[in-house]
Amino acid sequence: MSQLKNEVDILRRVPLFSGVDSPKLKLLAFTSQVVRYRKNETLFEQGDVGDSAYVILSGNARVFANSANGRIELAEVGETDFVGEIAILCDVPRTATVEATSDLTALKVNKECFGELLTTFPSMGIAMLRELGFRLSRTTADLVAAESRNARG
């Protein structure tokens, strides 16, 4: 199987891209860059300028943020997960750090290409809003639970 076909197959399994037809997925894969990281290498750091997002093709990573009280683990991500989209959507610095927990291969999607896809496929924007809303809900629940533990402790 060709690398491009493999990337398109993985992109098709990413919920955000499920409604995008094959020619557009091929264009996305073709205009994106395959990047590789070793275990413990950083894909990007909190505070960095966001010029791209990443679709994990293989491997795993942890997402965490630094706070005044130390490092806060936010999520574990793996194949077909999409990370780094907040910085390219909102033109804000990276809100978290992503570090490989195994050897990892990802598709680095540049900001301009991603913006064109969102413009061409409004349903992608709706899917992204749903995913971001889900993540916000989960993060809020985690913060409430942590605050409750701190208040008791």
* 23-78 confidence digits (pLDDT tens): 888 888 888 999 999 999 999 999 999 899 999 999 999 999 998 888 988 899 99
- The CATH classification number of 3-111+118-152 equals 2.60.120.10
Quote the pTM value. 0.82
pLDDT digits (tens, 9 = 90+) for 97-134: 999 999 999 999 988 888 887 888 787 778 778 877 88
Q: Is 60 exposed, middle or buried (0-12, 13-18, 19+ CB in 10 A)?
A: middle
Q: Are strands 70-77 and 42-44 parallel, antiparallel or unpaired?
A: unpaired
